[in-house]
Structure 1
Amino acid sequence: MTRKELAKGSPLSWQETKQKASHVRKHGLKQFINIYNKTKDTRSPALKWGDEIEYMIIALDQSAKTAHVSLRSNEILESLQREEIENPETARFLWRPEYGAYMVEGTPGKPYSGVLKDLLTVEPCMIQRRKEIQKYLKSNEIAVTLTSYPRLACPFFSEPPLPQESSSSKSTFFPDMAINHMYPRYRAITFNTRERRGDDYHIRIPVMKDQLTRNSITEVFEFEEEEVEETLTESIPNFVCYDSVDGMGYCCLQVTFQAFNMDEARTLYDQLAPICPILLALTAASPVHRGFLTGTDCRWNIISQCVDCRTKEERGLEPLSRDRFIIPKSRYDSISAYISNEGSRYVKLLILMYNDVPVVLNDHYLLELLEAGVEEPIARHIAHLFVRDPLVLFSEKVDQEDEKEIDHFDNIQSTNWQTVRLKLPLPDTDVGWRVEFRPCEVQITDFENAAFVCFIALLTRIILSYKLNFLIPISKVDENMKRSQEKDAIKNCKFYFNSNPFDSDSDEVTEMTINEIINGKDGYFSGLIPLVESFLNATEIEAETHQRLHDYLRLISGRASGELQTAASWIRSFVRSHPSYKFDSQVTEEITYDLITAINQLEQGTRKEPLLYGY
């Protein structure tokens, strides 16, 4: 599947973008209607799919015992993209920039197919991608797949060190130079998000209370020999703070599937949405933020707050006067409604309604979509996305041919960062309707990342093959998203789940542990992994393929049961067992260096962690 390059050009100021917001929405809607009418009956006979992995570049200093993010991603990216530029049809990998000046994103050059044997190519592809990055690194640099760098936005967290100056984000902690400066989209998002919001960010992440953690945490920052004290307590002690779009500098793992047609894409969108919190908890990998152990295991809600551009009126803090809507969620959040016919209907004579949360809509656009022949569930989905303003607009992209382009639609779509995303066919290509699965935290090793990618791919196969129904009310999905990010959620939380997925009219929504959802509960629910294994046993596949897939499923089964640790649990245990840790919740430079070194050893296979991998 072709991946679009990020737009380049001259971003307009926020005031200019705001003035043209109606223009972007109006033409974005026309572009959607054009694509919809052209492709609503189009079929894509071959399953194609692919993964996206975000990498951090870390510079190690063995003598100083420091591990800092290396701000060389653009230099490295230039080398990585050379193959694609010279031979776009045969490039082994596709490389794209990311928000941080220390990040790159890599995908397969060609999509995987629907043949089960192709699952065996996922991990080797990931291994080769990492090796490809390493070719262009300095001798003291490594590429790691780590969701959150432990001391991101701490003083001197980068190499080279940066002055604490920030004009775009107005952040106390995250300098502008840590944002990718070669692609103006990222700084424009940073600046416009804050300008649109109209007031300061106050993002608070609870510190994990350890034996000697103080009740009031005061950090001392030293910038150019000037001491500045900032108390993080406000009214509630023991919170770490962010004050801008810093969280966009985290890494994740995503998977995109091309569906047979639009209806199949809508089904996958809906059925994968309730799975998102489960996979978020299973892939939890970020317990450390700004140098502190925290009470959360995941990045999701942090990023959600970091890119929340809603005004006070839109957040319901002031009466509506200048703005049009009260919008319940950030742009980065779980979905607000199902879009298939199954997800949009009432079940068993109004006993259960899946779309049970009010959804804010642009009624004018909804009417226009319906009059153009767009089915109501999709029309409501688009009308919901289009209550947002565009965040970035390039002067070169203001005027477009709506019959040939979809950039105005993508402008709105691409800044609605939801747990799953319905993606349109690309004009003049063979790329069809797709669904992007977005919640997973990136894992430490290629083995783990391949395991989760293959598991998600197999889930899509059993959903479609067995016509499974995992739908639960959206309000329960939202609650699951909150629970999935709690410390040790796998051990401590239960999640709402449809325990009878073989009944299309099932309303058997109950609370289950992750272990019961993944591995099954006798006489109650067979479990996702047993369902996948049943599918594999009924399919003719080679012994080698079956064995490797079994290895992947065993990892996920062990994580779900608690026999194996999540990455978040392992990182927390590593910090707390470090010789220099003072049980005060603080993750120092030395601890960070040893942690990053251990992570690199795990990836290289020179370090064994039985509690993490079972060997």
Structure 2
Amino acid sequence: MGLLALGTALEWPQARERAHQVRDWGIQQLLEIWNKAKGKERDAMLWGDEVEYLVVNYSADDEKVLLSLRQAEILDALAADEHLARNGGGANHIDDEPIPRPARDNPLPVFHPEFGRFMLEATPGKPWGIGFKELLDVEPDMKLRRRIAKDHMRSGEYPITLTTFPRLGCPGQFTVPYYPPSGPRLRSQFVPDEIANPHIRFPTLAANIRSRRGRKVQVNVPVFHDSQTPRPWKDPTVDYDLHNWPEDDDVRNGAAPDDYIHMDAMAFGMGSCCLQITFQAKNITEGRQMYDQLSPLGPIMLALTAATPIYKGFLADTDPRGFWEEQPLRNDRWRIPKSRYASNSTYISTDARLRDEYLDPNLVIDPDIKARLVNGGMDDRLATHFAHLFIRDPIVVFEEDLRELDLNKTDHFENLQSTNWQHMRFKPPPADNSNNIGWRVEFRSMEIQVTDFENAAFSVFMVLVTRAILSFDLNLYIPIAKVDENMERAHARDAVLGQRFFFRKNPLPARGASRADEDGSSSSRTGSPRRGRGPVEEEYEEMTADEIINGSSAGFPGLIPLVESYLDSVNVDVETRCQLAMYLGLVSKRASGELETTARWIRNFVAAHRGYRNDSVVSEAVAHDLIGAVIAVGECEAEGRDFEGLAVHGLSRLLGRSRGASKRVGANGTAAAAAAAAGVDVMV
């Protein structure tokens, strides 16, 4: 969840007039942080995960499953739970600053608001540490979060980890309570204003994005053509005769092309759930290295975790949620080729292995902002990164924040930083750093998975990959343009099996060579980008996801073998290694195709349903049974029962035999202690 603030939100014409001031003050705040924290050293190597839930109202006896819009009430109940609060858990209420919590060795989870009133976000009570046994506490902690959330809901409400609600935006009722669409903020044909979190940031964000564009958001996803799907296919939910708002002319002017599912509000993107991992580095140099080296993995992990084959009651011809949510404006201050929702656009490390050829020569930046940052002491590479982010306009501006600049805050900086929704985010420490937070990197491309086991597996995998990168000094650089191309390929249906991705041929440093030696220069480890001896095109090739993850006969070692080599090099006890092997096994089998992605499992579930007519339509009955299956899997997992006894179509092809008979896991007691404190029995 991004910056939440209170105040008098300016409508777009007024916000546009103050945009320069927000950027100016944001740069001053950034330089203040830079000068305070650029020399920060020896920070603990911590990390954290964010799990997002949809809250659904489900009954086996009622064919209609609905989104519950009770986010505020659920957060109120969590915040009012004194037992949670005493043990370091609870909720940050929608209108509150983050609540100070008592220090605990094993604090309970914390819940947060999200864009949709049907969503919740949950994080561990404190960041995870560097210990390997701590990795085994991630899964039971995720189970604990789900159980605590459920305990503070009504009997028919369930927190589920699907990226999108299958029938969001369909005609008729899909929320409880029901609200008609076409409110003054979103002006959507399909969803009501009330679907968004009522915090003033969110309706203002939606309204100002629409007002700034002079039209509604236009999200068009290609429909999947099944055997009975018409050609051409016209979205039957689009009303071409609607005249409630001037923007209703959009569809009459071509906003809803044939063969595309048309959506007209940011609720369809911001209302999606994902799995995000944040890493804290020991210093800024290591943080910048992690940012760069993890960037090429974003598209690969998006394809591996793909889980979004349904939009607005129709099967799509794409598998993950989109980093294509909108096209950039053509009448902005700059002509920008990518939207705010995209893969990242540059590398930021001072690593000498970063060649000029990897960078985008046409990267759009604000030269005045870059000059200010460089004059303030920031190096060229990082100044370029922030000068690129700051080409954007601030969307939500509060009048009260413009009265006086406070250099002990980061509100103006975060206004721009948090509305650049790229697949990586580089996060400076807070200005008022009372908690001694370091430089952080956020990995944002993964889709949420159905089970806590899967979400833990992908989280732990990313942690181990990061440690292997740092331990072996891996070099995963490819041209940033190829990362963009990989991201486009990752959106294809069954991309994990059907697509090839550009990836570096040899990630290992030359034996006995320094970084400078590797590219033929004699410079130190850090510095400006250098030109290597050979053509950059010879450094990478197209590989399948299986080859990238598991290794190839052509010589690429594979990320999992590299992780296993890393684990071989450190002291890991047998029990921990066996549990980690189960997580790595899931990732490996997803990459090889032995197990299906969540998107493929959902497609097969729909195709096998007796109510599906091979016409790409996901009816209420199909959606009901899909949600019911997801709930059943979650309940089974929470109770520690074996999945093999669960009658859910295709489940073995999603999870395989990764989970045997359940057993209590508390490798270092953290999750078990937290669960005991909450009065919850957590099994895995």
Relative to the length of structure 2, the TM-score reads: 0.83
SS of residue paired to 2:28: helix
**Alignment correspondent of 1:369:** 373
**Alignment correspondent of 1:281:** 303
SS of residue paired to 2:503: strand
Deviation at 1:232, TM superposition (A): 12
Residue 228 of structure 2 corresponds to residue 212 of structure 1: yes
Distance of 1:99 and 1:329 partners within structure 2: 23
588, 591, 595: which is aligned to 1:560? 591
Mark the runs of 5 or more structure 1 residues left unpaired by the alignment. 315-323, 348-352
- Structure 2 letter corresponding to 1:371: N
SS of residue paired to 1:254: strand
Compared with structure 1, are the counterparts of its residues 284 and 218 closer, same or farther at alpha carbon in structure 2 (3 Å cutoff)? Answer: closer
- Structure 2 letter corresponding to 1:79: A
327, 339, 350: which is aligned to 1:330? 339
Residue 104 of structure 2 corresponds to residue 93 of structure 1: no
Equivalent pair of 1:100/1:178 in contact (CA under 8 Å):
yes
445, 449, 459: which is aligned to 2:451? 445
Compared with structure 1, are the counterparts of its residues 345 and 517 closer, same or farther at alpha carbon in structure 2 (3 Å cutoff)? Answer: closer
SS of residue paired to 1:219: coil
Distance of 2:69 and 2:100 partners within structure 1: 26
Q: After TM superposition, list the pairs within 5 Å mapping 1:72-471 onto structure 2.
A: 72-82=70-80, 83=85, 84=90, 85=99, 87-90=101-104, 91-155=107-171, 156-181=173-198, 183-215=199-231, 216-219=233-236, 237-246=258-267, 247-302=269-324, 304-305=325-326, 310-314=328-332, 324-342=333-351, 345-346=354-355, 353-426=357-430, 427-429=432-434, 430-471=436-477
**Alignment correspondent of 2:13:** 15
**Fraction of identical pairs, as percent:** 42
Deviation at 1:133, TM superposition (A): 0.5
Compared with structure 1, are the counterparts of its residues 169 and 569 closer, same or farther at alpha carbon in structure 2 (3 Å cutoff)? Answer: same
SS of residue paired to 1:133: helix
Distance of 2:253 and 2:610 partners within structure 1: 27
Deviation at 1:86, TM superposition (A): 7.8
Distance of 2:405 and 2:175 partners within structure 1: 43
Deviation at 1:231, TM superposition (A): 9.5
Residue 576 of structure 2 corresponds to residue 571 of structure 1: no
SS of residue paired to 1:52: strand
CA offsets 1:206-257 (integer angstroms, 9 cap, x no match): 11110111123352589xxx9x9x8999895321101121221111110001
Deviation at 1:200, TM superposition (A): 3.5
Compared with structure 1, are the counterparts of its residues 139 and 34 closer, same or farther at alpha carbon in structure 2 (3 Å cutoff)? Answer: same
SS of residue paired to 1:342: coil
521, 536, 542: which is aligned to 2:552? 521
Deviation at 1:20, TM superposition (A): 1.1
CA offsets 1:32-85 (integer angstroms, 9 cap, x no match): 111101111101431111000111100013333111111111110112234245
**Alignment correspondent of 1:487:** 493
CA RMSD of aligned residues (A): 2.4
**Alignment correspondent of 1:612:** 654
Deviation at 1:6, TM superposition (A): 2.3
Equivalent pair of 1:217/1:233 in contact (CA under 8 Å):
no
Relative to the length of structure 1, the TM-score reads: 0.92
Q: How many residues matched?
A: 593
CA offsets 1:315-355 (integer angstroms, 9 cap, x no match): xxxxxxxxx211111111111110102378437xxxxx110
- Structure 2 letter corresponding to 1:98: E
Equivalent pair of 2:114/2:121 in contact (CA under 8 Å):
yes
Distance of 2:375 and 2:281 partners within structure 1: 26
CA offsets 1:94-124 (integer angstroms, 9 cap, x no match): 2111111100111011100011111011111
Equivalent pair of 2:235/2:260 in contact (CA under 8 Å):
no
Equivalent pair of 1:472/1:497 in contact (CA under 8 Å):
yes
CA offsets 1:240-294 (integer angstroms, 9 cap, x no match): 1011212211111100011000111100000000000000000000000000011
Structure 1 segments of 4+ aligned residues over 6 angstroms from their partners: 230-235
CA offsets 1:386-419 (integer angstroms, 9 cap, x no match): 1111111122322344431111101110001111
Compared with structure 1, are the counterparts of its residues 261 and 439 closer, same or farther at alpha carbon in structure 2 (3 Å cutoff)? Answer: same
Distance of 1:31 and 1:18 partners within structure 2: 20
Deviation at 1:372, TM superposition (A): 1.0
Residue 503 of structure 2 corresponds to residue 497 of structure 1: yes
Compared with structure 1, are the counterparts of its residues 558 and 27 closer, same or farther at alpha carbon in structure 2 (3 Å cutoff)? Answer: same
Q: Which has the higher strand share?
A: 1
Residue 567 of structure 2 corresponds to residue 536 of structure 1: yes
Distance of 2:554 and 2:600 partners within structure 1: 31
- Structure 1 letter corresponding to 2:190: F
Equivalent pair of 1:148/1:251 in contact (CA under 8 Å):
yes
Deviation at 1:164, TM superposition (A): 1.9
CA offsets 1:513-548 (integer angstroms, 9 cap, x no match): 000000001241110000001111221112221111
Equivalent pair of 2:497/2:593 in contact (CA under 8 Å):
yes
SS of residue paired to 2:236: strand
Equivalent pair of 1:477/1:496 in contact (CA under 8 Å):
yes
Stretch moving more, 561-570 or 393-402: 393-402
Distance of 2:229 and 2:571 partners within structure 1: 56
Compared with structure 1, are the counterparts of its residues 408 and 5 closer, same or farther at alpha carbon in structure 2 (3 Å cutoff)? Answer: closer
Stretch moving more, 19-28 or 336-345: 336-345
Mark the runs of 5 or more structure 2 residues left unpaired by the alignment. 91-98, 510-514, 520-535, 637-642, 658-684
- Structure 2 letter corresponding to 1:243: D
- Structure 2 letter corresponding to 1:55: Y
**Alignment correspondent of 2:671:** none
Equivalent pair of 2:60/2:628 in contact (CA under 8 Å):
no
Distance of 1:356 and 1:164 partners within structure 2: 42
Distance of 1:476 and 1:221 partners within structure 2: 36
- Structure 2 letter corresponding to 1:612: L
Equivalent pair of 2:48/2:127 in contact (CA under 8 Å):
yes
Equivalent pair of 1:218/1:231 in contact (CA under 8 Å):
no
Equivalent pair of 2:51/2:123 in contact (CA under 8 Å):
yes
